[in-house]
Amino acid sequence: MDSAWNLQPWKFLVFDEREAKERLLPIAYGQCQVEDASFTVAVLGDLETDRNAELIYRDAVDKGFMDAEVKSRLIGQIEAASRTVKRRGIKRS
């Protein structure tokens, strides 16, 4: 899912402590730059961000930022994209 729907399906974690960067080494395939860098940024993708759409858009409708028809259309697009992700076999937790 991209952010075209304003769901921001990512999180960024910044590590600047040596101990934390050392703990990242195994999942970074031992790349020494993870530990040597001043800071390391991990980008995490949220494969379940579509589950937030109803809440986010309901709030937007309640505040008058969008109408219910637009909300319904956007949620339909998101659900279709989510089905595509599932068909392609991308694992969700």
Q: Note whether residue 93 is domain-resident.
A: no
Residue closest to 75 by CA, chosen among 55, 93, 92? 55
Count of domains forming the chain: 1
Contact partners, residue 42, CB within 8 Å, separation at least 6: 12, 13, 15, 24
Q: Note whether residue 48 is domain-resident.
A: yes
Residue 69: domain span: 3-87
Q: What is the pLDDT of residue 91?
A: 63
pLDDT above 80 for 50: yes
User: Confidence band (pLDDT; 50, 70, 90) for 89?
Assistant: confident
Q: Note whether residue 59 is domain-resident.
A: yes
The CATH number given to whatever domain includes residue 16 is 3.40.109.10
Q: Note whether residue 92 is domain-resident.
A: no
Q: Note whether residue 65 is domain-resident.
A: yes
Q: What is the pLDDT of residue 45?
A: 86
